[in-house]
Amino acid sequence: MNQMTEIKPLTRKDFESDQDVRWCPGCGDYALLAQVQKLLPTLGIPRENFAFISGIGCSSRFPYYMETYGMHSIHGRAPAIASGLKLARPELSVWVVSGDGDSLAIGGNHFIHAMRRNIGLKMIMLNNRIYGLTKGQYSPTSEFGKKTKTTPLGSIDRPFSPVSVALGAGATFVARTVDSDHTHLLETLRRAAEHPGTAFVEVLQNCLVFNDGAYNTLADKETRDDARILLEHGKPLRFGKDGNKGIRMRGFDPEVVTIGEGGVTEADLAVHDESAPNGGLAFFLSQFAAPLPVPLGVFRSVEAPAYEALSTQLAADARAQKGPGTLEKLFNSGDTWTIA
């Protein structure tokens, strides 16, 4: 009885399936795969309790490469399928891997409703700002004016920010990271894994065939510190190679300031608060675009009951109130009469 069965700790290897990975050499998706495989053995969850659900697109091949339960489904629908799985089996750790087209174009409706419900899914969206699998058309996150095969004269679609969309839909955990910074990627995924409701992570990811260099300034160690701002809860919004730049609020407008110049001190900088009851700051940060630095990290992390927990509670309450159902009771309820 007291003898503990020795459980072999899981390793990254345990999460590698026997399938050949078929992404283009150098694709940013490899970085995500490696970090997820590194993270999962550390979470204390049995391997058989993980399920990865994906839609369609390059990134959606992800489940095939994971030695977990998984489903490569249809375009845009992964959040809906994953929601059903999570509701039916709340004890499973259910992950959704998707791309910008899959999540925000064809699957936009399921994306926002997963956020709204706060169902316990870990949703990773690889955003390369292009359609890769169909060979190079613009996506909902492609920049205005972008020339692609379907926009030879430049795109007239205005892109949106996935983080803004998630926040607007009421997401309780929203983060952004980048494929080229493995440490940041891993830590962001860990935070997402620990969040009880819907956790959304946008991974800025390079497509070296159809949109190479989209995030060069974020990847290049020479330029990245000036191009990004790492969000840390309770810390001032500081960035820059020398760490002396920061964001100061002028009403509702952000401005880049340099500490030590013009009497600016650290006390003048806005302070990040990922758990502020009002999500205004997170939304404000999600709208940052050049020349402002790109925020990376956790924009928002607030506690709210997870949908599957509420659903389970409803059933428990109903059982407590009415007693467990039997077919005898079910069939004989309502107006009945007897024919002798």
Partner 1 sequence: MDTQVMTADAPEASRCGMQTVRPIEEVKSVVIRFVGDSGDGMQLTGNEFSKAIARAGHDFATHPDYPSEIRAPTGTLFGVSGYQIQFSSGQVFTSGDAPDVLVAMNPAALKTNLSDVKHGGMIIANSGAFNKVNLQKAGYQSNPLEDGTLTDFRLYTIDISDLTAQALKNTGIAKKEVGRCKNYYALGLMLYLYSRPIENEEENIRAKFAKKPDIAEANVIALRAGYAYAESAEMFVSTYQVRAADIQPGRYRSLTGNHAAALGFVAASELAKVPLFLGSYPITPATDILHELSGLKHYNVTTFQAEDEIAGICSTIGAAYGGVLGLTTTSGPGMALKTEAMGLAVMLELPLVITNVQRGGPSTGLPTKVEQSDLLQAVYGRNGECPIPVIAARSPADCFDCAIEAFRIAVKYMTPVIFLSDGGIGNAAEPWRIPDPAALPPLDVKFRTNPDGFEPYARDEHLARAWVRPGTPEMEHRVGGLEKHFLTGNISHDPLNHQRMVEVRAAKVAGIAKDIPPLEVEGPSSGDLLIVGWGSTYGSIVQAREQAELAGKSVAHVHLRHLNPLPAELGDILARYKTVLVPELNLGQLARLLRERYLRDVIVMPKVQGKMFKVSEIYNRILELC
Least Å distance between CB 19 and partner 1? 6
| Residues found near partner 1 in the complex (CB under 8 A) | 17, 19, 46-49, 51, 53, 63-64, 66-74, 77, 80-89, 91-92, 109-110, 113, 311, 314-315, 318-319, 321-328, 330-332, 334-340
Least Å distance between CB 110 and partner 1? 6
7 token code pair: 């459980």
Least Å distance between CB 153 and partner 1? 32
Find out whether the peptide bond into 291 is cis, omega within 30 degrees of 0: yes
Which CB atom, from 75 or from 190, has the smaller least distance to partner 1? Answer: 75
CA distance 186 to 33: 11
3-state secondary structure 122-179: EEEEEECCCECCCCCECCCCCCCCCCECCECCCCCCCCCCHHHHHHHCCCCEEEEEEC
Q: Are 230 and 222 in contact (CB under 8 A)?
A: no
Which CB atom, from 83 or from 148, has the smaller least distance to partner 1? Answer: 83
332 CB contacts (<8 Å, ≥6 apart)?
A: none
Residues recorded for the chain:
340
Least Å distance between CB 287 and partner 1? 26
| End-to-end CA, the chain | 60
Closest CA to 299 of 171, 169, 197: 171
Q: Are 245 and 254 in contact (CB under 8 A)?
A: no
Q: Are 21 and 33 in contact (CB under 8 A)?
A: yes
Least Å distance between CB 264 and partner 1? 47
Which DSSP letter does residue 3 get? Answer: P
CA distance 108 to 164: 13
Which CB atom, from 222 or from 328, has the smaller least distance to partner 1? Answer: 328
Q: The tokens 């997820």 sit on which residue?
A: 36
Least Å distance between CB 55 and partner 1? 10
Which CB atom, from 276 or from 314, has the smaller least distance to partner 1? Answer: 314
Which CB atom, from 121 or from 230, has the smaller least distance to partner 1? Answer: 121
CA distance 203 to 177: 5
Least Å distance between CB 109 and partner 1? 6
Which CB atom, from 50 or from 288, has the smaller least distance to partner 1? Answer: 50
Which CB atom, from 281 or from 306, has the smaller least distance to partner 1? Answer: 306
Least Å distance between CB 260 and partner 1? 51
Which CB atom, from 134 or from 217, has the smaller least distance to partner 1? Answer: 134
